[in-house]
Chains A and B, each alone.
Chain A
Amino acid sequence: MGHNHAHPKKAWQAIRTEAIESLLNEINVLSSDDVDRVVRHYEENVGPRTGASVIARAWVDPGFKKRLLADGLAACEELGIGGPETELLHVVENTPAVHNVVVCTLCSCYPWPILGLPPAWYKSSAYRSRLVREPRKVLSELGVVLADEIEVRVWDSVSEIRYLVMPERPDNTEHLSESELIDLISRDHMIGVARTIELNGQEN
C-alpha cells in the first residue's frame, strides 16, 4: 500500500454516530454535554474496582454479606453504588464446591455501574454461545481448570437481572485491610472467568 499521508476514511459508524448526535443537538433533544457527562463518568469513575469494593466489604462484614446475597442492589446502595442501568443485582457466591460464571447469551447485559464496561470477549458470539454449552471447556481455555467435583453454575443475564460473582476470600488474609482486599479482586473474578486469587507480594 502506498504511503501518501492520506488520513484513513472515517468509519461509517463514526459518521452515522456523529450525524445522529448532531441531529439530536439540533432538535434540542440531547446536548453534547449530556453525552459528555455519561462518557466521562464511565471512563473515569466506574470500573471493576467498584465491584471489588462491594466484595471486600462482604468479606469483612458478615451482616453486609447477608444483605448483599439477599438483595444485591439494596446492599450496593448502602455503599453509594448504583445506577439506572441495573434493575436487579443477584450476587452469587463461590464456595469450595461451587463455581459461578456469568454470561449474557442474548446480547451482553452486564452490571455496568458495578463493573464498568464489559470486555470485548464478553460480547463475542463465541463466549455467549459456548459458555452455556460447554462451560468447563470454555473456563479451562480461560485458565480456570475445575476439578470434576466442583459444580459449575452458569448465570445468564436475561431480562433485568444482572449477576455478580462473589469469589471466595483466600485463606490467610485476616491481617489485610479492606483496601488491600480490594486490590486482590479482579473483574474476571467477578464475572467468574477467574477463580484463584493471588496474594501478590504476600508472605502467606
Chain B
Amino acid sequence: MQSDTLLTALRQTGFENLSFNTPWSARLFGMTLAASNKQLFTLQQFQAALIDRIKEQEKGGCITTDEDYYSCWLEALQGLLEARNLWQPDQLREREAEVVEAGEHRQEQQRKGHHVVQPEAVQ
C-alpha cells in the first residue's frame, strides 16, 4: 500500500462531497435506516455485521473507495435480512435477473430512440 500518499490521494479523488456517490449507495443507506426504524434489526446489529464484513474484505485488500465500502455495507444488510428468512433462497437471484432484464429492455428502447413508456400504455 502506498500509504504515505494514499490519504492525500483519497482526499483529492473527488469523494469529498457530502452526498452519495452512486444512486445505489443512497438507496442502500436509506433502506438500512428505514429497516432499522421498522425494527427488522437494530443499528448495533447492523454495525456488528458491517464490522465482520469489512474485516473479511480487508483480509484480501484495502477499502479505498466509497464503492468498496458500500459493497461491504450491502453484503452486511443482505446477510441480516436473509437471516430473517424474508424471502426464499432463490428469490433474490431471480429478482436480480428481472432487474437486469428490465434495465436491458429500457436500454434497448432508448437505443431505438423510443421514449420509455409504461407497458400498459402500449397497444
Contact = CB atoms under 8 A, between A and B. Distances in A.
B19 A43 contact: yes
- Give the bracket for the number of chain A residues in contact with chain B: 35 or more
Interface string B2-32: 0111111011010110111111111111110
Secondary structure of the B contact surface, majority rule? helix
B95 A120 contact: no
A119 B56 CA distance: 22
Interface string A7-30: 100110111111111111001011
B95 A126 contact: no
Contacts of A117: 18-20, 29
B27 to A, nearest CB: 5
B93 to A, nearest CB: 8
A21 B98 CA distance: 13
A32 to B, nearest CB: 9
A24 B44 CA distance: 21
Given A120-B13, A127-B7, A106 B37 contact: no
15 contacts: A13-B24, A21-B31, A23-B95, A27-B87, A29-B40, A34-B34, A36-B30, A39-B20, A119-B18, A124-B63, A124-B69, A125-B62, A126-B1, A127-B10, A141-B4
